[in-house]
Amino acid sequence: MILPSVIDAIGDTPLVSLDRVVTELGLSGRILAKLDYLLPGFSKKDRAARTIIEAARASGELRDGQPVIELTSGNMGTGLAIVCGVLGHPFIAVMSEGNSPERARMMRALGAEVVLVPQAKGSRPGEVSGADLARVEEAAQRITRERAAFRADQFARPGNPAAHFHGTAPEIWAQSGETVSVFADFAGSGGTLAGCAAYLAPRGVRCYAVEPTGAEAIGGGDRSTPAHPIQGGGYDMDALAHLKSTDSAGTVTVSGNEARDHARLLARREGIFGGFSSGANLAAAVQLLRGPERGGTIAIVICDSGLKYLSTDLWDDPPPQ
């Protein structure tokens, strides 16, 4: 089948059983990985980018040729760069300098204008905090006014969770033969978790939010050490609008080191080259199978590609096996 554009290649990613990891760790149960890092922009955010832009064009809120702008850690921006490029919209990505430079280079290669915002005082490269995100938001609002642009606003627009309610979740449910009992996802904007939970929870699936140790705003836990290397989420924000009415079974906390170690395990044992948040999702699934969800079937998303982290310490001297 010949597709009319690369936009039509967004969706229907494979679901893979991580049997080698389960065996190596001696777990009771099953982990299924949704390979969204194989989407055109190498991340799950392609789904939300497509849905938000198509909905805005259909409603007339986004006019032909009008610029689009968005705050991004790089993944949503990459998806928007692809969708906007195909549909004829200039795209401006506003991103913290704390994010890995691969992301900015990829967006520029796809035709985006990238505005990098200096980090807040005390922030470290590779670790984007809520304070950093607030500075990016301020810049995004200013440029939106100056350019008379359409703001994609992944943190608020319903197209974000809708993309996963109509795409990711039913794909997982069907591909698993309706056997999934648990879903867990690292919370960035909250769109994936909210959309998947809205579809899966009524089918008896328990859905967990994954967040960094020490930045546990969703679960109301420890918030003493909000700095962490898991880019794209865990911003220690009090309000994620998409999660306000989510039917959640709870939260799972994962440290930066655990996310790093499990991303490396995923690559070494399963040949799946995911990023930090993918490692966090695997680490959370392992915790759940060792605890309250022992014996269950847990679905996770491989959120983005490890290629976006080559300049970080994610792949620095992994231990020999």
- For the annotated catalytic residues, the residue numbers are 45, 277
Strands 182-186 and 297-301: parallel
Q: Where are the alpha helices (DSSP H) in the chain?
A: 19-25, 45-59, 75-87, 101-109, 130-147, 159-163, 169-175, 191-200, 256-270, 276-290
186 by DSSP, 3-state: which? Answer: strand
How are beta strands 30-34 and 15-17 bridged, if at all?
antiparallel
C-alpha 212/C-alpha 172 separation (Å) is: 25
**CA 96/CA 130 separation, integer angstroms:** 11
DSSP one-letter code for 147 = H
Dig out the tokens for 262 from the structure: 């499990």
Closest CA to 41 of 96, 98, 91, 115: 91
Distances (CA, A) of 259 to 211, 230, 256: 11, 7, 5
Q: How many CA atoms lie within 13 A of 26 on its CB side?
A: 0
Contact call for residues 77 and 112 (beta carbons, < 8 A): yes
What is the sign of the dihedral through the CA atoms of 188, 303, 185 and 46?
A: positive
Tokens at residue 119, please? 């980090």
113/94 Cα distance (integer angstroms): 9
Amino acid code (one letter) for 149? A
